[in-house]
Structure 1
Amino acid sequence: MGRDEFFFLLLGLKWTVALSVVGFVCGGISGLGIALARTSGIRSIERITAGYIAVFQGTPLLMQLFVVYYGLALIGIRLDAWAAVSVGLTLHASAYLGEIWRGSIDAVPRGQTEAAKALALGYVSRMKDVILPQALRISLPATIGFLVQLIKGTSLASIVGFMELTRAGNIVSNQIFQPLTVFGVVGVLYFLMCCPLTIYGAHLERKFAASVR
């Protein structure tokens, strides 16, 4: 495998990073809304969002990408591979992050909410200034862990023809007939992306556990 093949893998790596960022950021924005809905106290909204989470947590990401890319085309909504994968990853991430952050909001001591109400803080101010900052701190290790899973999950985008790192590895492997070498390099690139995040997440988990003690 020469320099040109390696640079081609780096091109796929760029799109893997882009997909991860889009899925995490857009999924995070949607996930925050889902977490707030799940803790709203309005039973109908809580049930709808709980069903949404159950669907996306109970089905494989691969199937979700297939439904977005091929299923929407059957009803006349045609998305290119980039848009379809971005939408699929966003929906997937929103369900998982919504549940992670819902659990973090519930983990904030109830006395914090009661104190905020005693100070006559409205819902928006109570969540923005009191509850969410504490919930974010609690959720960081799990959120980073999900980001690692999302980065690896982008490899499934190759199934609908999107050219990310795994797809680039397939193309190079078919050209030079050295699959072990090519996918060894692909594996190293994934490792270099994910390992620092995993270490950082474990560090945060230990740090927060120590502060609780």
Structure 2
Amino acid sequence: MHYTAAWQQLHWSDATYVLMASVRTLQLSFTAVLLGTLLGIPLGLARALSPVMRVLTAPLVDVVRSVPMIIQLIIFDTCLSISGWPLSAFQLGTLALGAWMAMVTAEIVRGAYEAVTPSLRRAARSLGMSSWQELRVVSLPLTLRGGFPAWVGAALCLVKDSALVGIFGYIELTKAGQILNARTHRTFLVLGGIGATYFFICHVITFCTRRIERRMAE
């Protein structure tokens, strides 16, 4: 009777609400991952190829990777508000999460580039390739392949960290769960369903990326 009464307080419209919140979570996560990847790859290569760039960017990379995301979001929001550039919750989340993803991607790319066997680079240069050709044809493909699993792990972390943007009013998956729980007071059912939705999203992403990884290894 208890569980029957609990389900009676949840409606099909709530499922639609959670579905739309899931879409918003994916929109935020995809945008932040795309931004972070586009910025992180060239930054990582610069850190790998230039000792000066590595020294100059090391403090920024270490700070962004070490400070909790919730603090970074609050700092982003405060600084932008003071500067007179208030952003929407989506824009704020994209910038903060994208900055974190960029720093993590940069470290992944740097490590993967340094893991490429130097003899392969020397062999490419002995064939008459320029430094740019060697990077484009040999080092970069091997770097991206080697760093792909770690990049996927970072992307999955970002999907889960996107829940923190809800404190600024963005209705993503966790925020939607909090709203439903406040209305129904069915914590186990609501948050259990939200957790299952996160699991499904991450499982699908993992499944798809593993197939991509196998294709890259062929």
Give the TM-score taking structure 1 as reference length. 0.89
Query: Which stretch has the larger CA shift, 18-27 or 112-121?
Result: 112-121
Aligned to 1:130: 138
Identical aligned pairs, as a percentage? 27
Equivalence for 2:41: 32
Q: CA RMSD in A?
A: 2.0
Runs of 5+ unmatched residues, structure 2: 1-9
Alignment of 1:73-84 (within 5 A): 73-84=81-92
Deviation at 1:201, TM superposition (A): 6.2
Partner in structure 1 of residue 27 of structure 2: 18
Match of 1:195 among 185, 200, 203: 203
Q: 2 CA distance for matches of 1:45 and 1:198?
A: 33
Offset at 1:58?
1.2
1:158-169 to structure 2, matched below 5 A, reads 158-169=166-177
1:134-149 mapped onto 2 (5 Å cutoff): 134-149=142-157
Aligned residues: 207
> Which letter does structure 2 place at the counterpart of 1:182?
V
The aligned residue for residue 177 of structure 1 is 185
Aligned to 1:66: 74
Whole-angstrom CA distance in 2 between matches of 1:51 and 1:125: 31
Aligned to 1:143, the other structure's residue is in SS state helix
Of 88-97 and 128-137, deviating more is 128-137
Paired position in structure 2 for 1:88? 96
The Cα offsets for residues 19-77 of structure 1, whole Å up to 9 and x where unpaired, read as 11111111001010111111123x32111222221011110111111111222211222
Aligned partner of 1:156 in structure 2 is 164
Question: Which structure is larger by alpha-carbon Rg, 1 or 2?
Answer: 2
Distance in 2 (CA, whole Å) between partners of 1:11 and 1:200 is 22
Provide the C-alpha distance between the structure 1 equivalents of 2:92 and 2:46, rounded to a whole number of angstroms: 26
Give the match for residue 104 of structure 1.
Answer: 112
- Counterpart residue identity of residue 83, structure 2: I
CA contact (8 A) 1:37 1:49 kept: no
Amino acid at match of 2:159: I
Runs of 4+ in 1 over 6 A off after TM superposition: 200-205
Give unpaired runs (5+ residues) of structure 1.
none
